[in-house]
Amino acid sequence: MGGIEHKSPVELAKMRQAGRLVAEALQLLSDIAEPGLTTEQLDRAAGDLIRKRGGTPAFKGYRGFPANICASINEEIVHGIPGPRKLREGDLLKIDIGAVWDGYYGDGAVTVAIGEVSELARDLMQLTREALNVGIAAIRAGVSINDVARPIQKMVEERGYSVVRDYSGHGIGRALHEDPRVPNYVERRVLSRDPELPEGAVIALEPMVNAGRPHTQVLDNGWTVVTRDRKLSAHFEHTVSVGADGPVILTLP
Query: What are the boundaries of each domain within the chain?
Result: 9-249
pLDDT single digits (tens) 60-94: 999 999 999 999 999 999 999 999 999 999 999 99
Amino acid at 193: R
Q: What's the whole-number mean pLDDT along residues 139-157?
A: 96
**Per-residue confidence (pLDDT) for residue 77, from 0 to 100:** 98
Asked if omega into 180 is within 30° of 0 (cis), the reply is: yes
**Per-residue confidence (pLDDT) for residue 189, from 0 to 100:** 66
**Per-residue confidence (pLDDT) for residue 14, from 0 to 100:** 98
DSSP string, 128-151: HHHHHHHHHHT--TT-BHHHHHHH
The helices-and-strands tally (H runs, E runs) of the chain is: 4, 15
Q: What's the whole-number mean pLDDT along residues 145-156?
A: 97
Binned at pLDDT 50, 70 and 90, residue 1 comes out as very low
- Stated pTM of the model: 0.96
pLDDT single digits (tens) 26-43: 999 999 999 999 999 999
Chain centroid, CA 203 distance in Å: 11
Binned at pLDDT 50, 70 and 90, residue 187 comes out as confident
The top-level CATH class assigned to 9-249 is alpha beta
Mean of per-residue pLDDT scores for the chain: 96
**Per-residue confidence (pLDDT) for residue 173, from 0 to 100:** 98
- Is the model's pLDDT at 194 over the cut of 80? no
**Per-residue confidence (pLDDT) for residue 2, from 0 to 100:** 52
pLDDT single digits (tens) 89-115: 999 999 999 999 999 999 999 999 999
Report percent pLDDT > 90 for the chain: 94
202 near 242, Cβ under 8 Å? yes
